[in-house]
Structure 1
Amino acid sequence: MKKTLLVLLVVLLNAAAVLAQSVTEPDTLWRRSFAAGLNLNQSSFSDNWKAGGVSSVAINAHVDGRADYEKGDISWDNAVQLQYGLLKNKGEEQRKSIDRIYLDTKYGHAISSDWNVFASANFLSQFAKGYEYDVDEDGTDRLISNFLAPGFLTFGLGAEYKPNPYFSLRLSPFAPRFTFLVDEAVGEKERYGVPEGDKVRKEWLAAMVQATYDRNIMENLNFKANYLAYANYKELSGKRIDHLLNATLSAKVNRYINVSLMGNFVYDYDQDSQVQFNQSLALGILYTVQGFSVSR
């Protein structure tokens, strides 16, 4: 756990230093923001603590960055969201608590003050192996995910409604998606829609709707959300439409300390017939840099 903490600190500080340098360079065509957070939770109990409890230590790190370019009618928006966390309870092996990689890029051309036509690509996966724990009587763990198992690469062509800097709605009637399952050790029940014997599922005829919201709803309180709906024309029914929602509510205590509430909700019939979700509430260190200079 100490080694993992050191690695996460080095990665976050290096990324922050690089982006901070780029943000301070004068460039009126770019609008940038970057936030890196590190949260640590720890509890310990003596062996004779009568109220009960389990000693534990948990750490999670997250990175949120944007780099948006605009010149005349041309725009290029880029976003990255990385989340990773580890949990260690006394008497158990180290386990993941959260794991998410999300990358998004969009090239647009304005056709009015509020509408763009665009081409986009986004990628979704996780960093490390994930397990279903203690599935057998002997305590065996079963591998259910890994990097690019699954991984989702989705392209989109369509129109975007963007009436202000903090809200956008993308409508993509043509949105091909590739689902990867490159780790053959992932269990048979977790095919994620990839046909048996294949490593990639190709969905060429599909539609996508994506909405983003990022705004300070009051002083020192920010709400950020990204919603995505995906529908394959060949399987067009209510239960076959995928829904993904990522939301973060963060409050700044001071320049470097913040409280954050994060949640991820997923409905994908190829993964599970029920809604999946994870949630985390943490107090930790937050480093932010911003450069909001835009010329039209």
Structure 2
Amino acid sequence: MKKIILLVCLLPLSTLLRAQSSEKDLIKKTEDAAKTIDDTIPNGWKSIGKVTFLFNQANFNNWIAGGENSFSGNLGLDYKIDYKKDDYTWENRILASYGLLQTQNSNFEKKTDDQLEINSIVAKKTKSYWYYSFLANFRTQFSQGYVYTKDVNGAEIREENTNFMSPGYLLFGPGMYWKKTDNFKINLAPLTSKITFVDNSYTSVPGYVDGSYFGVDANKSMLYQLGFNATAYYKFNIMENVSAENLLNLYSNYLKDPQNIDINYTLNIIMKINKILSANLNFQAIYDDDAFAGFQTKEVFGVGLNYSF
């Protein structure tokens, strides 16, 4: 009877140990499979790119409900070029877009989009999905940005407030890179330098208040920060022919107000119609208290013509 009781007590323990052993074997097999796949990727350069043109038009003729004729177009480039040499990888991505809106009753063409961003990360594989890494990121815009108001007579006027490299941002620093697949990866960089560049003509105007133009002091053209940077990328299919791409960047400045975390989040939803046509939605949200005390948001949606190369 004692042997039966002992056997009954030991049976669940034995089952638990076998389950733990099976789980460890599964984890090891998964890691080995991931390493095998990674090892089979050939050394050398690999590149892929896509050019997209989004357009939107509205036309009214004797339309009693009212309306204003308008046309907008947006040209975008997404280019990836990667290099692999054994345990070393070098991943690069260039994102560029520019868009204009022309309405019937406006004297000015207005921008709907203006972005130039270059991401680069050098990594050396360690174990499993982890890499030692060094990240560099550069962001700016192509042309002047304006604030639009009206004069005393109600006419539309504009005042320039941004330009190419004003602002411009450069981030770089070492860290650890976790990459499960090309569609899911995270980089953590605890010692990231961030340099903000501006044209000092904006900071040299009479009565300028230190830090009021993207955090840069009077008569200066640069702001240096040191802090923690985290970037994440996740792409998945919502349904057949509909994909969602998420890019998130977080930055905390150790030197001033580290609790104020800069946020830059981008969502790209692509609804593929065929090889050439797609409906594209781009949403971006930015929080940077050096630039603006609140969230900046941008949304661009339209039918796109795509060319891949």
- TM category (shorter chain) comes to 0.7 to 0.9
AA partner of residue 226 (structure 1)? L
In 2: Cα distance, 1:221 partner to 1:69 partner: 29
Please, which runs of 5 or more residues in structure 1 have no aligned partner? Answer: 1-26, 290-296
> Which of 248, 253, 257 is equivalent to 2:273?
253
- What does 1:100-119 correspond to in 2, within 5 Å? 100-119=115-134
Residue deviations 1:26-47, cap 9 Å, x none? x75334321110012112222x
Q: For residue 52 of structure 2, what is the aligned residue in structure 1?
A: 37
Taking structure 2 as the reference length, the TM-score comes to 0.79
**Corresponding letter in the other structure for 1:153:** L
* 2:190 counterpart residue number: 173
Instruction: Name the structure 1 match of 2:66.
Output: 52
Larger radius of gyration: 2
Summarize deviations over 1:172-220 as a string: whole Å, max 9, x none. 01100110002625885861011111011112x3110111123444432
Q: Which residue of 2 aligns with 1:12?
A: none
Q: Letter of the 2:133 partner, please give it.
A: F
Q: Would the aligned equivalents of 2:264 and 2:286 in 1 still touch at CA under 8 Å?
A: yes
Counterpart Cα distance in 1 of 2:240 and 2:294: 37
2:100 to 59, 69, 86: 86
Structure 2 equivalent of residue 193 of structure 1: 215
Aligned AA (1:37) = T
1:93-172 superposed matches below 5 A: 93-134=108-149, 136-137=151-152, 139-172=156-189
In structure 2, C-alpha distance between the alignment counterparts of 1:145 and 1:37, rounded to whole Å: 25
Q: 1:4 is matched with which residue?
A: none
- Tell me the equivalent position of 2:231: 210
| Residue range with higher mean Cα deviation, 273-282 or 227-236 | 227-236
Counterpart CA distance in 1 for 2:284 and 2:136 is: 20
Change (3 A) 1:158 1:197: same
**Is residue 148–residue 183 contact of structure 1 (8 Å, CA) maintained in 2?**
no
Q: 1:288: how far off? A: 1.9
2:81 touches 2:93 (CA, 8 Å); kept in 1?
A: yes
Residue ranges of structure 2 left out of the alignment (5+ in a row): 1-41
- Residue identity over aligned pairs, in percent, reads 28
Q: Which has the higher contact order (CA 8 A, sep 6+)?
A: 1
RMSD across aligned C-alpha pairs, in angstroms?
Answer: 1.9
Which amino acid is the alignment partner of residue 161 of structure 1? W
Report if the CA contact (8 A) 2:54-2:73 is conserved: yes
For this pair of structures, how many residues does the alignment match? 260
2 CA distance for matches of 1:142 and 1:108? Answer: 44
